[in-house]
Amino acid sequence: MSVPESKYLSPVWRDGIFNGRVVFVTGGAGTICSMQTRALVRLGANACIIGRNVEKTEAVAKDIATVRAGAKVIGIGGCDVRKVENLQAAADRCAKELGGIDYVIAGAAGNFIAPIEGLSSNAFKTVMDIDVLGTFNTIKATMPHLLRSSSPRIIYVSATFHYTGMPLQAHVSAAKSAVDSLMASVALEYGPRGVTSNVIAPGGIADTEGLARLGSGADAEQASYAKGIPSGRVGTVRDVADATVFLFSDAGSYINGQQLPVDGAAWRRQGAI
């Protein structure tokens, strides 16, 4: 899979701004997080991506490594974020092989569309476990490494559903509220030790499983969905990757404890779209 650079990075960033940095990414084989990682690696970082599927995670890691000569990208499959020991082993391996961890993207998430009456307690718990416990486990496993970095940063990939509540997404809305809350606690608890902790909240992003599942996969559906977005278009993975580059760059060093929706202001009209 060869991805043109213009698909995941705006031409405004400087080469090498992440030289010597290492990013650890859960959910890193997914569409959005793999593009965030690709952008960071293109600008100098090395990366470790974590996923449940071994083959997919290793293949995506190999592909991301092609964006820059000399890039090191490790893919660790078979890692379930619900198991803290899986993450601890992955974080330790990342630090050992790549020399540390400077940035974390907590991107692993579970999602499906279901009405509350179609959600078993176990279904609700499953999403809470992947999103909330998984994020907590990611923080636990990586924090000892982050605290050794001169520029420790965390981004959580959240959502905007919970700003208003969302039908058929009760489980995800509840989970993302908790993720945002964890983000804020980390910002306050670890801000004094140099860590920044921020949420990126993508809206509907073109060509992702999420948008397809929400029923906006087809071109016609996507065009009608886009009309209701104040910025007049559906988001792209590049929009999310650019926001990531900004927050991890030196330009983002004083931004801490914030939620950054990357959604063309869609959430402000949520329910009306």
Q: Does 118 bind ligand HXC (CB under 6 A)?
A: yes
Beta-strand ranges (E) seen in the chain are 22-26, 46-50, 73-76, 103-106, 153-157, 196-202, 259-262
Note whether 110 binds ligand HXC by CB under 6 A.
Answer: yes
Shortest distance, position 197 Cβ to ligand HXC, whole Å: 20
Q: Is 176 a catalytic residue?
A: yes
| Candidate residues 10, 66, 88, 126; the one interacting with ligand HXC per rule CB under 6 A | 126
Selection from 63, 64, 28, 21 nearest residue 44 by Cα? 21
Asked if 59 touches ligand HXC (CB under 6 A), the answer is no
What number of residues does the chain have?
273
Which listed range, 17-25, 93-101, 125-133, 225-233, lies at the site for ligand HXC (CB under 6 A)? 125-133
The bridge status of strand 22-26 relative to strand 73-76 is unpaired
Task: State in angstroms the smallest separation of the CB of 57 from ligand HXC.
Answer: 13
Smaller CB distance to ligand HXC: residue 82 or 233? 82
- Work out the number of other CB atoms within 10 angstroms of the CB of residue 165: 13
Stretch that binds ligand HXC, among 88-96, 109-117, 188-196, 256-264 (CB under 6 A): 109-117
Catalytic residue among 34, 173, 176, 216, which?
A: 176
State the nearest-atom distance from the C-beta of 84 to ligand HXC, in Å. Answer: 16
C-alpha torsion sign, points 175, 239, 245, 8: positive
Dist CA 13 CA 244 (whole Å)? 12
200 and 247 in contact (C-beta within 8 Å)?
yes
**How many other C-beta atoms can be found within 10 angstroms of the C-beta atom of residue 254?**
7
User: Does 111 interact with ligand HXC (rule: CB under 6 A)?
Assistant: yes
Q: Label residue 156 exposed, middle or buried (CB < 10 Å: 0-12, 13-18, 19+).
A: buried
Task: Determine whether 158 is an active site residue.
Answer: yes
Among the listed residues 158, 173, 177, 216, the single catalytic one is 158
Q: Residue with structure tokens 């959502």?
A: 159
Q: By CB under 6 A, tell whether 273 contacts ligand HXC.
A: no
Tell me which residues in 157-196 interact with ligand HXC (CB under 6 A).
159
In the complex, minimum distance from the CB of residue 111 to ligand HXC, in angstroms, rounded to a whole number: 4
Hey, which residues are catalytic here?
Answer: 158, 176
Binding site for ligand HXC (CB under 6 A): 109-114, 118-120, 122-123, 126-127, 130, 159, 209-210, 213-214
